[in-house]
Structure 1
Amino acid sequence: MTITAAADGSALGNPGPAGWAWYVDEDTWHAGGWPHGTNNQGELMAVLDLFRETAHVPEEPLRILCDSQYVINCVTKWMPGWKRRGWKKADGKPVLNVELLRQIDQELAGRSYTFEWVKGHAGHSLNEAADQRARACATAYQAGVAPVEGPGFEGGPSADPAEVRAPAAPSGARSVQGPAAATAVAPAGSRAVATRVQDRTAAPQPEHEIEPVQEELFGDLPVSDGPVEGTFPGHLDLDAAIELEQELLDPETRADFGQLAYLLHPEYREIGQSGRLWNRDEIVDALVQNPDLSVSFELLDATPLGPDLIQLVYRTQSAEGSCLRSSLWQRVDGRWRLRFHQGTPEA
């Protein structure tokens, strides 16, 4: 029988007091958190704990509902390429949250699972239940009280605290030192009781994380698909360019001034959907400051135009309509940088 569970994370301040939770029903859920972490770390930890809590029933397929496309893309799209490069991104930089991702990768072996994106804060009952519990844990850590952890999965490690496997702490993490025990407010209908905070889930090292931004560059965020792995067998340069294009669609990248400047060529130019011509400084400033919307991503073509030049063509789709997009990636001093981009609304 398929196990359907929603997984969610929460961070107050992002980074700040953080929580995570997965939820099947009122009798089957688990939650936790750290004094300091990010929303993405909470989302990843919820998925990791769900796999661990159900490891004793590997024959049961998992259907995981997530409102984080970052998590879905990490697990289903990006990890194979990262592993081939020694857990490095296509630009050679270390993968964020790699300690949690490595542990998730280990838990995937021998498991049958699917991920399904659900819109957050839209009334989905399982997603709302997971979100409520994750937020309650973050709030508990903010207040210095013990979070309500929930009953866990029947037969899983949380049923016996001595059996709980703590994830390895990311480098530089601060361990959770339990404050004086206090009663935290449990989600409505919960049969769980508050427990003393234990050093079971060490706090991940904070990563730079800001809400995604929206501008003409590459359409609105977040995207629904990650890099296309194996689409062009033997063409590692094409795979790298595709992944970097997707890197520029990632909320963390678009909100990071330094990373944008690193990926965009100094002579970068863009013709936006409105017909406006943008330079690199204008685009970087606009992306870091503006809010986001959701789009889908459909790769149409990836073509080498020379030994150091690649063209990507793709379509984005949002509530406002679809747009055809073209990007030129140029290899400069051994690394790929985006030289030109154009977006044209489809009729």
Structure 2
Amino acid sequence: MTITAAADGSALGNPGPAGWAWYVDEDRWHAGGWPHGTNNQGELMAVLDLFRSTAHVPDEPLHILCDSQYVINCVTKWLPNWKRRGWKKADGKPVLNADLLRQIDDELVGRTYTFEWVKGHAGHSLNEAADARARACATAFQAGAAPVEGPGFGGALSTPMPLSAGRTSPVPIQGDLFGEAAGEVAVEAPPAPSQTDLDVDAVVELEQELLDPEVRSDFGQLAYLLHPDYREVGQSGRLWDRDETVEALGEEAQRHEAFELLEASRLAPDLIQVLYRTESRNGSALRSSLWQRTEGRWRLRFHQGTPEA
């Protein structure tokens, strides 16, 4: 029987006192936290602890409800490429939260799982229950009190490892982006990807990073990813330059958009086009991006978005 659970994280100040929780029902849930952490660390820890707490029933598929596209992307899309690069992002920078991601990677081996994105704070009963427990743990650490941890799964509580304790696993995990994304353990090593495949994967990963609210709110990272001569034709038909785009993205940093890749291809040795669809509460749009390799790294040179009818 499939185990359906919501996983969520909370941080007061982000970073600040942090909590995490997963919730199946009133008899099966677990929560915890740290005196200092980020919301994303809480989200990842909730998923990690859910896998560990159900390790004694490995044949039961997990269906995980998350309101964090960052977590879903990490586990189902970005993780294999990060491992292949030695836990480095496409731009060469270290992967954030690699310690937790390595531990999640270990726990995925032999498990069947799916992820589903749910909108946070929208009345979803399981998500609300997990959010309330994660927030309660963060509040407890803020007050210097012991958090309420819950009963665990079937009376079993896992023992969370410190954030600095990372482990590695050589088994690559593959999955889809959102919704019905099933994890599959690769029994045999796949053929070595071509340089074109690596470059295209890297650019698609960078494109998705630009949809991450944390990246959108980081002016330095936006300036790093956008080419100095960046131009964008917005959905209204307006032409934007890089400075205007960085400011606008910062103002809408909390907007969540689901990503559906349509096509990604190399147009020239140092030019890759990504065609994709986004969906948000404002509707869906078709988007086209041109990424140019400049001074050894990929930067977004041009983008256009068109609303779908």
TM range (shorter): 0.7 to 0.9
TM-score by length of 1: 0.77
Determine the structure 2 residue equivalent to 1:13: 13
Cα distance change, pair 20–82 in 1 and its aligned pair in 2 (3 A): same
Q: Using the TM superposition, give the Cα deviation of residue 345 of structure 1 relative to its aligned residue in structure 2, in angstroms.
A: 2.6
- Distance in 2, matches of 1:322 and 1:24, equals 31
Please say if 1:269 is aligned against 2:264: no
Q: Using the TM superposition, give the Cα deviation of residue 46 of structure 1 relative to its aligned residue in structure 2, in angstroms.
A: 0.8
Letter in 1 for 2:277: R
Q: Using the TM superposition, give the Cα deviation of residue 264 of structure 1 relative to its aligned residue in structure 2, in angstroms.
A: 0.8
- Distance in 1, matches of 2:281 and 2:49, equals 34
RMSD: 2.0
Please say if 1:170 is aligned against 2:164: yes
What is the aligned counterpart of 2:208 among 241, 246, 260? 246
Determine the structure 1 residue equivalent to 2:38: 38
Give SS of 1:123's match. coil
Determine the structure 1 residue equivalent to 2:303: 341
- Distance in 2, matches of 1:261 and 1:141, equals 35
Q: Using the TM superposition, give the Cα deviation of residue 291 of structure 1 relative to its aligned residue in structure 2, in angstroms.
A: 4.8
Cα distance change, pair 323–62 in 1 and its aligned pair in 2 (3 A): closer
- Distance in 1, matches of 2:299 and 2:107, equals 35
- Distance in 1, matches of 2:202 and 2:22, equals 33
Please show how residues 63-142 of structure 1 align to structure 2 within 5 Å: 63-142=63-142
Between the aligned residues of both structures, percent identity stands at 78
Determine the structure 2 residue equivalent to 1:293: 255
Deviation by residue 1:245-268 (Cα, 9 ceiling, x = unmatched): 111111111111111111111111
Cα distance change, pair 315–5 in 1 and its aligned pair in 2 (3 A): closer
More strand by share: 2
- Distance in 1, matches of 2:258 and 2:32, equals 32
Q: Using the TM superposition, give the Cα deviation of residue 34 of structure 1 relative to its aligned residue in structure 2, in angstroms.
A: 0.8
What is the aligned counterpart of 1:259 among 204, 207, 221? 221
Q: Check the 8 A contact 1:224/1:295 in 2, yes or no.
A: no
- Distance in 2, matches of 1:329 and 1:136, equals 43
Determine the structure 2 residue equivalent to 1:191: none
Q: Check the 8 A contact 2:270/2:293 in 1, yes or no.
A: yes
Q: Check the 8 A contact 2:10/2:138 in 1, yes or no.
A: yes
Give SS of 2:146's match. coil
Determine the structure 2 residue equivalent to 1:211: none
- Distance in 1, matches of 2:231 and 2:223, equals 13
Q: Using the TM superposition, give the Cα deviation of residue 87 of structure 1 relative to its aligned residue in structure 2, in angstroms.
A: 1.0
Cα distance change, pair 317–149 in 1 and its aligned pair in 2 (3 A): closer
Q: Check the 8 A contact 2:116/2:178 in 1, yes or no.
A: no
Count of paired positions: 285
Cα distance change, pair 35–328 in 1 and its aligned pair in 2 (3 A): same
Cα distance change, pair 119–289 in 1 and its aligned pair in 2 (3 A): closer
- Distance in 1, matches of 2:152 and 2:178, equals 30
Cα distance change, pair 79–269 in 1 and its aligned pair in 2 (3 A): same
Cα distance change, pair 155–57 in 1 and its aligned pair in 2 (3 A): farther
Please say if 1:282 is aligned against 2:244: yes
**Which consecutive unaligned segments of at least 5 residues does structure 2 have?**
166-176, 182-189
Letter in 2 for 1:123: G
Cα distance change, pair 319–67 in 1 and its aligned pair in 2 (3 A): closer
Q: Check the 8 A contact 2:17/2:36 in 1, yes or no.
A: yes
Q: Using the TM superposition, give the Cα deviation of residue 169 of structure 1 relative to its aligned residue in structure 2, in angstroms.
A: 2.9
TM-score by length of 2: 0.86
Determine the structure 2 residue equivalent to 1:309: 271
Determine the structure 1 residue equivalent to 2:171: none
> Which protein is bigger by CA-based radius of gyration?
1
Q: Check the 8 A contact 2:49/2:160 in 1, yes or no.
A: no
Letter in 2 for 1:239: D
- Distance in 2, matches of 1:95 and 1:89, equals 6
Determine the structure 1 residue equivalent to 2:169: none
Give SS of 1:168's match. coil
Cα distance change, pair 332–2 in 1 and its aligned pair in 2 (3 A): same
Cα distance change, pair 318–154 in 1 and its aligned pair in 2 (3 A): closer
